[in-house]
Amino acid sequence: MSEAERHVAIAGGGTGGHLFPGIAIAEEFLRRDSRTGIIFIGTKRGIESKLLGRLGYELRIIDVEGVKGRGGKALIRGAYQIPLSMWQSRQILKQFRPDIVVGVGGYASGPAVLAAHFMGIPTAIAEQNAIPGITNKILGYFADKIFVTYSQTQTFFPQTKVVVSGNPVRAVLTAKRHEGKGEKDYRQLLVFGGSQGAEAINNGIIDMLPRLQGIKKEIHVVHQTGTRQLEEVTKAYEQFGIQAKVEPFIVDMAAAYASADLIICRAGATSLAEITAAGKAAILIPYPRAANDHQLKNAEAMASGGAAILIQEKELIGGKLFDVIEELLRNEQKLRQMEENSLKLSKIDAAKTIVDNCIKLILKKINLSGVHKN
């Protein structure tokens, strides 16, 4: 391997909220130098095992589960897997020899970043939410650099390590921003509840369909349901004669964002970063049991910025969701203003900021050691 080539390991995943920022970071490294070697470290159970191969990335598997809030047997199994996952991470890193390991959250992030730290490999972590989870709080003591989405998150970490970067999004989201906005005689709704779907949102949509039937000629729906309610939701749209494309998981979310006139979804940090990068108006239904109620805080920030309407999950069953949708779709000026406000909230250079700092860490390590990989 020549001195110009770099190897980068990105650890974590489990959900799209962790994985997609990692993909955005990988894309930025490759944009700088297409020869950069990239691997992801994750688990068989996470979304990474289903998605990364389709995108052309290599995934290395470790065995790790969460231990927080688990029952007896699961707690013992999870605790047992910690040293195993550390050993597996070390073996992967010894073989791949990365110049840096970046943890993006999720179960696999912890063992991989810790193993890298003890091997003397530069490390960084990315925290998407305003209030970090327990894994990143611990990793903050070991990581060389900590990238946060929100300025208030700095207080949870050693100040000298923190960079307020924003949450990185895939380049294709901004590249496709203006696609799908051609002339059409209908409005397109995009509905999703995260990479695994959301039962409450699915049920809320089903409950609303009898009223939506009244404007069915004016709308098309693209709905990501997750696997469990795919058939139920599909049949509901068919019953009321509403034009809908229903999928368990949408691979090309960039195209889905681009063609959407209004988005209905949860308020996870990565979803909101993508929505603002795409410059879209949204109806946000925060997950009420999210740690530290961070989704509600995310949604409130979007609403106060004039980019979204906030609806509590408990208000889904009934007419409120339909009333808000109908009002927005019939008010072109308000919808356009929400889109402009959404774009103003975006931080499209987050991946660039993160990779700039990662390269500085790599060069610092090289300068200190005076050794280049061959």
pLDDT digits (tens, 9 = 90+) for 207-256: 999 999 989 999 999 999 999 999 999 999 999 999 999 999 998 999 99
Fold agreement between 7-168+348-369 and 173-344: yes
What is the pLDDT, as a whole number, of residue 29? 98
Mean pLDDT of 274-284: 96
What is the pLDDT, as a whole number, of residue 317? 76
pLDDT tier at 371, thresholds 50, 70, 90: low
Rounded to the nearest integer, the mean pLDDT of the chain is 91
The first and second tokens of residue 103, run together, are 């943890």
User: Which CATH homologous superfamily contains domain 7-168+348-369?
Assistant: Glycogen Phosphorylase B; (3.40.50.2000)
Q: In this structure, are residues 280 and 342 in contact, taking their beta carbons and an 8 Å threshold? A: yes
The CATH-assigned architecture of domain 173-344 is 3-Layer(aba) Sandwich (3.40)
203 or 367, greater pLDDT = 203
The first and second tokens of residue 205, run together, are 């949509």
Mean pLDDT of 177-200: 81
As beta bridge partners, residue 38 has: 8
From the CA atom positions of the chain, what is the Rg in Å?
21
The DSSP letter of residue 169 is -
The CB density around residue 128, as the number of other CB atoms within 10 Å, is 29
Dihedral angle sign, alpha carbons of residues 261, 262, 263, 264: negative
Mean pLDDT of 275-291: 94
Where are the chain's structural domains? Answer: 7-168+348-369, 173-344
What is the pLDDT, as a whole number, of residue 373? 58
CA pair distance 98, 366, nearest whole angstrom: 13
**Local structure of 68: helix, strand or coil:** coil
CA 185 to chain centre: 32
The CB density around residue 122, as the number of other CB atoms within 10 Å, is 22
* Closest C-alpha among 294, 249, 250, 247 to residue 272: 294
Mean pLDDT of 63-89: 70
CA pair distance 355, 269, nearest whole angstrom: 20
* Closest C-alpha among 256, 265, 261, 248 to residue 200: 265
What are the angstrom distances between the C-alpha of 97 and each of 57, 91, 190?
Answer: 17, 10, 42
**Local structure of 208: helix, strand or coil:** helix
Q: Which helix (H) or strand (E) holds 210?
A: helix 199-212
**Local structure of 73: helix, strand or coil:** helix
CA pair distance 108, 61, nearest whole angstrom: 9
CA pair distance 193, 295, nearest whole angstrom: 12
Q: In this structure, are residues 105 and 126 in contact, taking their beta carbons and an 8 Å threshold? A: yes
What are the angstrom distances between the C-alpha of 43 and each of 19, 47, 89, 107, 132?
Answer: 12, 9, 11, 8, 21
Percent of the chain with pLDDT over 90: 75
CA pair distance 110, 2, nearest whole angstrom: 30
Which residues have C-beta within 8 Å of that of residue 230, sequence separation ≥ 6? 246, 247, 248
pLDDT digits (tens, 9 = 90+) for 57-66: 999 999 987 6
